[in-house]
Structure 1
């Protein structure tokens, strides 16, 4: 059921009632977890692709050939790149003789040079043939500047200055692309689109400012929403109340700003979405035994046993290649639904020198993963803004590259990345 978000509230409510009732009468019974409210949605635009879907570091951009990381060197925040062909980190600046120490550097993002700017952070998101630079922090309230460039940093220009952190926090968003533009989806502000020309708000959600364009507010209360992922040309949100006015519902926001009611799904707030399938592990703590998989196309749910063993956490994540990530005793496992066993991502270092820890997947593109395989603390020489030398204890993260196929087979044949002497976020 598709309707335009700019309809009046009364008309929106009428359309929802008129369209959902016949579908409910004719539909076959469905499992308790999912209640069909509308025919399977049909894409009306270019499909969206989830960027870094299984990664834990949204501030790190990844393409088929490189990863892009903001990194602090002393008080300077610079854009860096890890080339997959060389497994070396380099500053994203090719200017001859550049010292990479001030704002004249082509990779410059921000500087902690006064009390108001000492909390600057950044993110680099690669979408299509563009690289988006997010610089946030400084004076309160926090503002965001967004630049855009080619992947090598050339043709860089600012498209947003003093933007809202609620709309432009790439570290808290799910990031999608249709091959042309970048889409940020958050529960705080809904869906926005970024292009060379700037920002386009697509759908207002839950930013504390109810608007007549949002039919969720027709229910008389502020909706509680969470972004699950993308499907077809839609960003899919779980919202309470649903568009039908009761329970938790799935709402698809199309790239053109229209919306589709995807039905009621009671467990949506703890679910993961990948290629039109919703994965949910019922239960609590580490006593989970089954997983529910709902297909949005067929509007049906199947329940499968989790792999052999016990103590599974009731949390799962979906990676870009379709593998399901499970957790048990702080170790990560890779699992394909239907298999009897899950493969352990072999622990590589100890947490607090005692508890074993699996590699952390910072970024992945569906084929290759950038992983943290260990970390340690080191004393590093630094200079204050006044030029006074001092020693600072900082975490050193050891990163590596590995194919998802090898990683999810339990192998450790990764290639260590030659890292620069700086500080990574996250």
Structure 2
């Protein structure tokens, strides 16, 4: 499983609706007494949205290949040599193959849920991802041949009306496991430092913000002249994918830029701090506020909150207890995740305390670990609560039998509010006899 770091090891009043995993409750404002400092930047021209607002998908989840809606989670799973699309219905807490054909054996390409198999023409080395955006489900099948390619299908959420919209495209442009995914309700947007911003819908792939052969221009500021990316994607706000770029468009410090869904660019100002990479999770963007934890290792003591609309940065103390890692992630309900001594906590900015997440799975036989939040929608979370090892019979290419050792991950559902209160009232998912791929 490709985890985003940490959990597997995780603008004041806006001009328009802000980017969020769901239109969730806002983050509690910090009391003035808690603020250590407030700095004001010289604001650029006001950002004006030119399209429908974007919402981030699975904002706090560590498994970007999983999709989640209000009622269902979608995840690819290996059954022997075959990768199939499956779903978990929240009402029943049961995993099912995404197939409604009576009597289907689910063993080959004749199954509507089929994604790939070891002898697939794409490659014997494959991975997959499912992303739900609006009323559409996007199927990503990544092949490991050289050059690495990806195919994308789209269907209704129940898997019907599935058809291919992209075939043999560069994985660097369409790797859903390495991208941030947004939707405006009509289409899916993937944002990475490598490909900037692309749009997927029923008609195929559109490059919203092309790279122009890597030469920086006011319209294309993401790359330097030696073709090196100098920006990293942080999230979305209004109708913009928000990137942190060093140097800024003005040439000094770190700048934030917004790439609108129509391809235009807005300068969101320059700052004296380095917001880092989203794979480091030292910064996170939620509801128009950018949260950044300076420091290194377990020495973090403060968090800096940048309001994109007001162009101000406020420094707040982290909760009592100390030993905080310079890590933070924003969940769909506005809660901030922190880590201290390898233990995960839930924190509301401005509060003096953080809540420890109840321990579940074990890294080894002695050390418990907090639940891994694979996917969350701002209300419900799909979490890993335990691991167990199994041995399954397999055949070598020569037809010889052997036992394949696998780790089965036991998953459960729990309301985010309960999880972030330290509760353990999760509902175990009745999982199928397959394996989540590594």
Q: TM exceeds 0.5?
A: yes
Residues in 1 aligned to 2:411 and 2:270: alpha-carbon distance in whole angstroms? 41
Task: Kindly indicate whether residue 333 of structure 2 is the aligned counterpart of residue 321 of structure 1.
Answer: yes
Structure 1 segment 285-324 matched on structure 2, within 5 A: 285-324=297-336
How many angstroms does 1:210 deviate by? Answer: 3.0
Task: Kindly indicate whether residue 194 of structure 2 is the aligned counterpart of residue 188 of structure 1.
Answer: yes
- More moved, 300-309 vs 404-413: 300-309
Task: Kindly indicate whether residue 380 of structure 2 is the aligned counterpart of residue 345 of structure 1.
Answer: no
Task: State the SS of the aligned residue for 1:351.
Answer: coil
Deviation digits for residues 61-114 of structure 1, max 9, x if unmatched? Answer: 110010000111111010000011110000001112110001111100011027
Residues in 2 aligned to 1:271 and 1:294: alpha-carbon distance in whole angstroms? 10
**1:267 aligns to what?**
274
Q: 1:36 to 1:268 in 2, by over 3 A?
A: farther
Task: State the SS of the aligned residue for 2:173.
Answer: helix
**1:407 aligns to what?**
419
Deviation digits for residues 340-372 of structure 1, max 9, x if unmatched? Answer: 110000111321223321000000001000000
**1:331 aligns to what?**
343
Rg (Cα) greater in structure:
1
Task: State the SS of the aligned residue for 1:406.
Answer: helix
Task: State the SS of the aligned residue for 2:157.
Answer: coil
**1:141 aligns to what?**
147
Residues in 2 aligned to 1:213 and 1:170: alpha-carbon distance in whole angstroms? 27
How many angstroms does 1:268 deviate by? Answer: 1.8
How many angstroms does 1:303 deviate by? Answer: 1.2
Task: State the SS of the aligned residue for 1:315.
Answer: coil
What are the ranges of 5 or more consecutive residues in structure 1 without an aligned counterpart? 1-29
User: Contact 2:347–2:353 (CA<8 Å) still a contact in 1?
Assistant: yes
Relative contact order: is structure 1 or structure 2 higher (C-alpha 8 Å, sep ≥ 6)? Answer: 2
Structure 1 segment 157-306 matched on structure 2, within 5 A: 157-205=163-211, 209-210=214-215, 214-216=219-221, 220=225, 222-265=228-271, 266-269=273-276, 270-306=282-318
**1:422 aligns to what?**
434
**2:86 aligns to what?**
80
Task: State the SS of the aligned residue for 1:405.
Answer: helix
Task: State the SS of the aligned residue for 2:368.
Answer: strand
Structure 1 segment 110-129 matched on structure 2, within 5 A: 110-113=116-119, 117-129=123-135
Task: State the SS of the aligned residue for 2:221.
Answer: helix
Deviation digits for residues 264-299 of structure 1, max 9, x if unmatched? Answer: 132222421001001011111101111111111111
How many angstroms does 1:261 deviate by? Answer: 0.3
Match of 1:96 among 96, 99, 102: 102
User: Contact 2:193–2:229 (CA<8 Å) still a contact in 1?
Assistant: no
**1:23 aligns to what?**
none
Residues in 1 aligned to 2:223 and 2:359: alpha-carbon distance in whole angstroms? 50
TM-score (norm 1): 0.88
Q: 1:92 to 1:283 in 2, by over 3 A?
A: same
Residues in 2 aligned to 1:349 and 1:156: alpha-carbon distance in whole angstroms? 37
Task: Kindly indicate whether residue 385 of structure 2 is the aligned counterpart of residue 373 of structure 1.
Answer: yes
Kindly indicate which of the two structures has a greater share of residues assigned to helix.
1
User: Contact 2:214–2:223 (CA<8 Å) still a contact in 1?
Assistant: no
Deviation digits for residues 10-32 of structure 1, max 9, x if unmatched? Answer: xxxxxxxxxxxxxxxxxxxx956
Residues in 2 aligned to 1:319 and 1:141: alpha-carbon distance in whole angstroms? 35
Residues in 2 aligned to 1:217 and 1:253: alpha-carbon distance in whole angstroms? 10
What are the ranges of 5 or more consecutive residues in structure 2 without an aligned counterpart? 1-36, 277-281
Task: State the SS of the aligned residue for 1:253.
Answer: strand
Task: State the SS of the aligned residue for 2:417.
Answer: helix
How many angstroms does 1:388 deviate by? Answer: 4.5
Task: State the SS of the aligned residue for 1:185.
Answer: strand
Residues in 1 aligned to 2:393 and 2:354: alpha-carbon distance in whole angstroms? 44
How many angstroms does 1:373 deviate by? Answer: 0.7
User: Contact 2:214–2:225 (CA<8 Å) still a contact in 1?
Assistant: no
How many angstroms does 1:164 deviate by? Answer: 1.0
Residues in 1 aligned to 2:399 and 2:218: alpha-carbon distance in whole angstroms? 53
Residues in 2 aligned to 1:358 and 1:352: alpha-carbon distance in whole angstroms? 13
